[in-house]
Structure 1
Amino acid sequence: MKHALYAFLDQHALTYQRFEHPPVYTCEEARQLCPDMPGAETKNLFLCDGKGMRHLLVAVPAEATVDLKALSQELDVKGLRFASPERLHRYLGLEPGSVTLLAVLNDRAGAVDVVVDASLWQADAILCHPLVNTETLAVPRAELMRFLELTGHPPRVIPVPQRAA
Structure 2
Amino acid sequence: MNTNAPDNLAAKHPKEAALFARLDSLGIAHHTEEHRAVFTVDEGADVKARLPGGHTKNLFLKDKAGAYVLISALGSTEIRLNQLHKRIGTKRLSFGKPDALKALLDVVPGSVTVFSVLNDTEGQVRLILDKALFSHDSVWFHPLRNTASTRVRSADLLRFADGVGHPATLIDFKEDIT
Whether these two folds match at TM > 0.5 is: yes
Query: Contact 2:126 / 2:168 at 8 angstroms: preserved in 1?
Result: yes
TM-score, normalised relative to structure 1: 0.90
C-alpha RMSD of the superposition: 1.8
Task: Count residues with an aligned counterpart.
Answer: 162
Change (3 A) 1:86 1:162: farther
Query: Contact 1:21 / 1:134 at 8 angstroms: preserved in 2?
Result: yes
Gaps of 5+ in 2: 1-14
Query: Contact 1:47 / 1:83 at 8 angstroms: preserved in 2?
Result: yes
SS in 2 for 1:119: helix
SS in 2 for 1:44: strand
What's 1:81 paired with? 94
Instruction: Give me the whole-angstrom Cα distance separating, in 2, the residues matched to 1:51 and 1:86.
Output: 18
- The answer to whether residue 156 in structure 2 is matched with residue 147 in structure 1 is no
1:103-138 per-residue CA deviation (whole Å, 9 max, x = no partner) reads: 010011111111111222222111111101111111
Instruction: Give me the whole-angstrom Cα distance separating, in 2, the residues matched to 1:68 and 1:161.
Output: 13
Query: Contact 2:137 / 2:153 at 8 angstroms: preserved in 1?
Result: yes
Query: Out of 29, 46, 53, which is 1:39 matched to?
Result: 53
Gaps of 5+ in 1: none
| The 10-residue stretch of structure 1 (97-106 or 15-24) with the greater mean CA deviation from structure 2 | 15-24
Deviation at 1:66?
1.4
Query: Out of 39, 61, 70, which is 1:25 matched to?
Result: 39
Bigger relative contact order, structure 1 or 2 (CA pairs below 8 A, ≥6 apart): 1
Deviating beyond 4 angstroms after TM superposition, the runs of 4 or more aligned structure 1 residues are none
